[in-house]
Each structure stands twice: as C-alpha cells, then as structure tokens.
Structure 1
Amino acid sequence: MVIYIILLSNVSKLICSYINNNCEISDKDNEKINYAIIAILSESVKFIFLFFLFFILHRLKFFIFSLIILMSIRNFSGGLHFKTFNKCLLFSVTVFIMTSLLAPMIPRLPNLIYYFFCFISVLIIFIKSPCTSPKRPIRNNKKKYRLKVISTISSIICLILLVVVRNNNSLVNCGFVTILIQAIQLILA
C-alpha cells in the first residue's frame, strides 16, 4: 500500500504541476485541486477494486445498484470520512458486503418494517445532512439547506424506485439496507 500512496502522490503532483504551468492559480486553489485529484484517483482505485471483488463474488448487479443509490444520496448528504485509504477501503468493502452480499439474502419482511425504516432513514437524512469533511467545509447556510433538501429528495426518489422493483426482494433489501446504512453513517459522522 505504501507504493500505492507514493504513486498516487506522484501522479497528483505531476497533474498539479501541469496545471500550474499552464494556468495562473493561487496557492489555495492549488491545494484544492491537489485534494480533488487525490480524491478522484483514490475513488477510482477503490471502485475498480470493489468492481472486481463483486464480479468475482457474482454480486456485481447488487453492488452497482447499491452504489447508484448510495452515490445519489451521499454526494449531497456527506458521510463518514477516513484519514487513510486503507481505512476507507475497508469501510467501503464492509458496507458493500452488507448491501450487496448479505442484504439480498434476507427474506421478505413485513411492509410495516420497510415503512418504518424508510421513515427513520429519510428523517435522519433530513436532520443530519449535509455532513461535511474538515477538508471541505460548507460555510454558506443557503448551500447547506440546498444540499439537505437535495439529499432528502434523492433518498425519497430512491425509496420510490424500490417500490417499483418491489417484486425483486433481493434488490429491495439491497436498496433499503443501502439507504439505512447511509443514514446511520450520518449519525456516526
């Protein structure tokens, strides 16, 4: 993993150097660009690893379904952030094992249980969103409120999607557990 971190750092510096040589950018903006490049590269490596892991486990469709739901909410609500790539990767693997491997095996539950967890999840997402990271704070209250509304609406849309696929119990459980875990993340963060 040390090689990965060194490689990531060098690629990021190379890209930032190219940008600095071809554009006039302040030191503060340069730091933001470097952070964004590292984040994009890290997420790309993490996605490729997860993609192949769930491909090997024959759970790729559940992983992609869960990822789409998670990203449509998390991009606006935020969530837990880890200081190291290894911790982030381990947490992501754990989350997707729960959503893509374990949740689809849960038998159909009574509708009341799904409704209860829907209500609780949407309520938590509305109350706790957006949960920002220290490296990307949001100071503008209008932007915070807009992100709160978008994340809440996005979670409601995802829940409506789950009603559409209600005949596929495995996808329903995968989706509900994904939304529930995202809500729990907001509490923990």
Structure 2
Amino acid sequence: MICILSSKMTLYIKENSNIKTDDDLEKINYALQAVIGETFKTTVLISLFLILGKTNYLLFSMIILFTLRTFVGGYHCNTTLKCLLYSTILFLITSLIGPMLPVFNIMFYYTISALSILIVAIYAPFFNKKRPIKNKKRRWIMKLISIFATIFWLSILLLYIDSSTYLNCGFLTIILEVSQFLLTRKETNYEK
C-alpha cells in the first residue's frame, strides 16, 4: 500500500514538475516511502502506547533513538510491516522492561557507556544498501557525529536524569541501538 501510494505521488510529481530523470524520481519515491512508512509506524506506535499508558517512555525512547539513528544508522527491515514489528518489540523492551529494572551500580552505567562509545567508534556509521556512504570524508564526518551524539545522550542520562525509570529506559534504548552493530555487522556497507 505504501509503495502504491508513493508511486502515485511520484508519478504526480513527474507529471507536474521539471523533474524527469529516473534517478531523481527514484530518490523522490524512496523518500516518500520513508516518510509515509515512518508516519504510519509512528501513528501505530503512539496509539499502542497510549493504550498501554506508557507514551511518556515511548516518546523519551523515540527521541533518543531517532537522534542517534540519524547519524549512527542501524538495521533496516525490507518491509514496512517487519519494521513496525521490529520497532514495536524494541519500544516494548525500552518502555515496559526498562522502567521496571532496578537502579544499577554507577560503574555498570559507566561500563555500558564506554562500551557503547567504543562500538560506535569502530562500526558507525551503519547504513543500508539504499543509502550507502561512498565518500570517505563523509563517512568520517558521520562517524564523528555518531560518536558525539552517543556521548551527548550518555552524558544527559548520567548527569541530568534523576529518575531510575527514565535512566534505564534511555540506557536500554542506547544498548539496543548499539547492539545492532554486533548482531548484524555482516549486512552493513562498512568498509575500512
């Protein structure tokens, strides 16, 4: 359904604009699929978490994940429904299990932070085949931004979040995002 809708919108753009090259139209179609898919997924997730009464944790986890994922990248499912299922499981873990976890020793959080930064420094950026980074300078810049974004969120969590429920929700979000590198690194376009 999303592909059909984006194709119709792309055709409308083709017929009513100066954009005529297949490459540009393919990029527009991909962007439209991404926007429509993310809008659908976000609407379903917010509706589900409104029913569960955990919208605050969902939104907190989403803010962290979306700002990290923009630069760090991550695993991409090949269909919208798989993406919705994957996202639902991820956010159920961060928003339901995270707040139920006890407060851990501060060294645990520092160790997780150091490991997360190290993994991001080694493997980021992690992008799919449809959005490869071929330029080495751009890859290096994205790696630096990824490291900075990870350090930024870890600092916010460690220095400014007093609630153990939000602290664990945030850390679990970062752990799940970073663990994708270790679980799916064969699928990345990472080149040394």
Place the TM-score, normalised by the shorter chain, in its bin: over 0.9
1:22-80 deviations in Å (ceiling 9; x for gaps): 12331011111111101110111000000111111111111001000011111111111
Q: Residue 139 of structure 1: which of 116, 134, 138 is its match?
A: 134
User: What amino acid does structure 1 have at the position aligned with 2:146?
Assistant: S
Partner of 1:172: 167
Q: Give CA deviations for 1:83-121 in whole Å, capped at 9, x if unaligned.
A: 122211111011101111101100110001111001101
Count matched residues: 183
TM-score of the superposed pair, with normalisation by structure 2: 0.91
Letter in 2 for 1:132: F
2:112 to 100, 114, 117: 117
| 1:183 positional shift | 0.5
Question: d(CA) in 1 for partners of 2:62 and 2:20?
Answer: 34
Match 2:178 to one of 172, 175, 183: 183
Identity %: 38
CA distance in 1, matches of 2:53, 2:12: 41
CA distance in 2, matches of 1:95, 1:132: 19
CA-atom RMSD, angstroms? Answer: 1.1
Distance 1:24 1:85 in 2: 27
Question: Any unmatched runs of 5+ in structure 1?
Answer: none
Match of 1:74 in 2: 69
1:99 is the counterpart of 2:94? yes
Aligned counterparts of 1:78 and 1:160: Cα–Cα separation in 2: 20
Match of 1:151 in 2: 146
5+ long unaligned stretches in structure 2: 185-192
- SS of 2:157's equivalent? helix
Preserved CA contact (<8 Å) 2:67 2:149 = yes
